[in-house]
Amino acid sequence: MEDSTGSNPQSPGFTEKLKSWLSWSWTYVCFLWFGMVLIMIYVLWSPLKLQETLTSASVFLNTLTPKFYVALTGTSSLISGLILIFEWWYFRKYGTSFIEQVSVSHLRPLLGGVESSSTTGLFSSVNGDAEPRPSVSECKVWRNPLNLFRGAEYNRYTWVTGKEPLTYYDMNLSAQDHQTFFTGDTQQLRPEDAVSLDDHLLTVMQKAWRERNPQARIRAAYQAIEINHQCAAAYVLLAEEEATTITEAERLFKKALSIAGKDINLLVYIKRRLAMCARKLGRIKEAVKMMRDLMKEFPLLGMLNIHENLLEALLELQAYADVQAVLAKYDDISLPKSATICYTSALLKARAVSDKFSPEAASRRGLSTAEMNAVEAIHRAVEFNPHVPKYLLEMKSLILPPEHILKRGDSEAVAYAFFHLQHWKRAEGALNLLHCTWEGTFRIIPYPLEKGHLFYPYPGCTETADRELLPSFHEVSVYPKKELPFFILFTAGLCSFTAMLAMLTHQFPELMGVFAKAFFSTLFAPLGFFADKMESFMPSSFWHQLTRI
């Protein structure tokens, strides 16, 4: 046993050395192979009658008309143009080059390289260490704390615009959340019915959450209520899906709360949605009280981010001292950050100086301590989520926020700006200060995927996840901006070059014929020079005897 365990660490090292040796020697093998090919061509020059073959090929090429060259270059331009269009479409949709992806995924491992993986950006360490860096949690999809009501808000958008604001991936995540939250709700049955009806009711509600069609979900909820009138989860589904107004949704949530029993997940969900109903109906102080009571009653449920609902409601009340008190508790180095935390902190500091801020005056006299604090807070917020400023400054149009968000991604930026843009507008000069200072963040972190300033390097997974969470009609914000892949530029140049050749050959056939002959003569001149040198270096009898063999 000791010998076998002791040899295990050595075997991977031998394998890695073998791979590195093969990779190192590949270049020299290619050069050796190329040299051998040249020698074989020279040796077989006479036996295979290559001279006669080249002569007949040159005669054939000389007999071709200019129309052939026009057709050849035109076809080449068309094919390269089609490849360019496909490459551009693939890059716009998936953010990478198709040819490059195939090369890296399939060809590079065969040539001795390291196989690329989509998780490279997630688990690579800042200093190149083998241990994964903690930014993995930032690539996790979170439930949006302020998500809208499907029946009363999302569906109304669909009725007006004909567009679906939620993606199937987003709704599927919500279905999984609901099945996890509400599986314990079927215990509100009479003891004599529990054995048979409990399983049936659970099956009906699980089917209801999984159904893709809204009407099918609503029918399943009514079926569950027929089985058991005390099924609170069914009333929750109706409040979310069927209610077309916030008032109607609030009535159904109150009905669900009255029969919820002791299921903690169900109680927290219902009370939170009731607080959000009160906020939307203008009863903001009542909503704040409900949220505070909920956080006091269930202090261990911080992962649900109820404090973000509270921050938004307090900002609406303009209770900035209370907002600062909440931030003092949750804007801690040991707690996970969010766009709401970072940008609300920046808003409070910007509000203190923004009404008197002037870029011209600041450039003359320099920034005061309070202004410097506000600018640093803005830089901190922009580093955490660089997508938010364009929505707050209305440089990019807003859409309805998704039900799930990716922290530091475009989905989180949409969700934050949708609810908080009004609070920034209310603070006089805050948006002006943001406009003047937010782009300075990118000078502090010129290589965000490699090294961060106040946070870990920006995760490379955001674009892919945001494309799944946000609807197709929304143009996903990408950070940092990607340069066009080499193969798009190459195919664009090839398409333009061949099209130009086709046009010139059509317009000046004789001149282009002379140019083509001169080009190919120059191209094959080194080969002829090499053959002459080989003939002068080796005796003719040697080649004669070799060809006879």
pLDDT reading at 523 higher than 80: no
pLDDT of res. 486: 66
Three-state DSSP state, 448: coil
pLDDT reading at 178 higher than 70: yes
pLDDT tens digit string along 491-522? 777 777 777 877 777 777 777 777 777 776 77
pLDDT reading at 142 higher than 80: yes
pLDDT-based confidence at 89, cuts 50/70/90?
confident
Give the Cα separation of 45 and 142 in Å (integer). 70
pLDDT of res. 539: 58
Residue-by-residue DSSP string for 51-70:
HHHHHHHHHHHHH--HHHHH
Residue with more model confidence, 175 or 121 = 175
Q: Which residue reads 């809204």 in tokens?
A: 214
Q: Which of 75-84, 158-167, 268-277, 326-335 is predicted least confidently?
A: 75-84
Contact 291, 326 (CB under 8 A): no
Residue with more model confidence, 250 or 538 = 250
pTM summary value: 0.68
pLDDT reading at 150 higher than 90: yes
Q: How far is C-alpha 449 from the chain's CA centre?
A: 13
Residue with more model confidence, 209 or 481 = 209
pLDDT tens digit string along 439-450? 888 888 877 777
Give the Cα separation of 388 and 407 in Å (integer). 12
Give the Cα separation of 413 and 221 in Å (integer). 34
Give the Cα separation of 323 and 304 in Å (integer). 18
Residue with more model confidence, 191 or 471 = 471
Write out the two tokens for 331: 């804007």
Average pLDDT, whole number, for the chain? 78
Contact 135, 456 (CB under 8 A): yes
pLDDT tens digit string along 459-483? 888 888 999 999 999 999 988 776 6
Write out the two tokens for 266: 């169900």
Q: Which of 147-156, 482-491, 533-542 is predicted least confidently?
A: 533-542
Contact 406, 141 (CB under 8 A): yes
Question: Omega into 214 within 30° of 0, i.e. cis?
Answer: no
pLDDT tens digit string along 274-301? 999 999 999 999 999 999 999 998 887 7
Give the Cα separation of 363 and 340 in Å (integer). 30
